[in-house]
Structure 1
């Protein structure tokens, strides 16, 4: 009777083991399937993560590139391709397509009073080729009176009474407006140009690598303020003088004005890059521009003793007329003076003068000296307060 339970227990154990093996066999395909799903899924997940990582890296690189990409102030919300950050002085037709013609390469901008129209006409004719845009700054309010000249129709006319060319230049010759032009001629009106050719001049300054220049002044018939700008007939271009100027002895070792690296301000010529720098130096509230000439070396795009020069082969006369500070009715016609070149400069005709005109001119002269001192003071303070600025000409 005791053996029956033992047999029953053994049979029960065997049956349980069979059931377990059967269950394991049934589970094996499921486990295998799950394993395959896991392996395949893991591959997809890995590939997905890798793909997302690449996308993230690309986006980060793009973000970094966009952060370092310069966009003009105010254009940040615009797509880059639509931004027109520069302009020019080219006239456009009101209808129809623009005529297919070469863009003008250089700019002549000058102060102009109607009493000097003959002189201005002679100057403009020297620049009236297809390579030059002409812009006149009318300081006497007279604009229609210039229509007698054929070139007047295509010139740019800007009229504001009793303002200097530096006032006009600061407001109407922004570097982004004139960036299309290789050279900017910023001239006075009291110049004689019989011995000057604009195209030859541009060719020379290009060959010589002059960023800032001026035509030499004929020393016999001109008002010459600085010996450096006086013509030396032995040269095509000169960059320094060897004269004794005041306390300064100019020689080969001289590195700055008034011995080298200097032009006067009646007929300066700037390269595009030099003008961008010079424009920033012109003070908005100082109309006469005094003091800028001695600091132009900082805008010479390198060595001022090499990149600033006087062109002797294309020279001009400077008659030094007081065209501002008096009534326009009393200004001498420089066209008449041009016909008296056989006289020495000290014998040139002088503008008629009245006590009222003399007083006005005296006040203008006082203002120029006051502005010179203001500019020098601002320069000194700017140098003192800018810790990051390095004076490339400091010895």
Structure 2
């Protein structure tokens, strides 16, 4: 039996190759420091786990869930957005429950586009953004995210034809892979741009809790008129270390939310009710665990940046997320440098070109190991002697 045409067209899973290389090295008995992953390394807070245990013990949660999710969770989402961002969300019509944000991001083009339509994707960007266009039979153009623009798209530089044909746009701040953050001024411009060109906006707010240097990341829905043009996806994976629980939600424009819910009526019977109850508890309960986690990532970021600068690696400190976007030294492509670090230093990183054409010249490093392992990774890279010339330049 042959795969369907759509499945044959799906992009190769970028991280599969990296995982294979890392697993091969580990199987050979090598002590690999894996900085290429995006999987939170700490457990879900105990009080949330306990809430799940109690909910799972209740026979009422063993039945089929409501198709569009439990009102208890939707109300918790509404409470969360009001408390954290002063944004009013109608729990009945402006929330869609998702089995992970990836599900929503991949299925959204099926909800609002027709075959042959165009959408805009960030470059570099989360590789799974590419799956939705294939499944929906739509095309996409890319928006370059350049360091000189603080990794924000410059709408003025997009060709007129691209702006004219685009019907959907994805954004993601704090950004994966660059660690950049967006301002309310940028989101206000985005709303205006979307209205002028009749473009639906999707903001992937997966790292919304992870801002550094005292700057809280901005929600797209805080921009005036945002709900008129788009929605925001939020996941509990990063905020509460609940990656394996697969629980997220979309909030915002009620027509888009209805479209998501309608599609999901035909695909899913929502999430295990006990998971929904525990997720509601996580959103409503004491948030000190979130601040503790954010502080851990900021401390790890500081260690990475300080150590990299010490060896002459001129890096830019990320403002959010749990990733750092580091320039590749002269003489290497992104893939060559990634392979070199794994082969010669047993340090695994994600090659920047895997995130798009404009990811070339960078690698992505995850802040998902303890500080001492980050220090050890930089010491191993230092021993390769790659950055000695850079140190000499600074000393001169």
- TM-score per shorter chain, which class? under 0.3
- State which structure, 1 or 2, has the greater radius of gyration over its C-alpha atoms: 1
Higher relative contact order (CA 8 A, sep 6+): 2
TM-score, with structure 1 as normaliser: 0.24
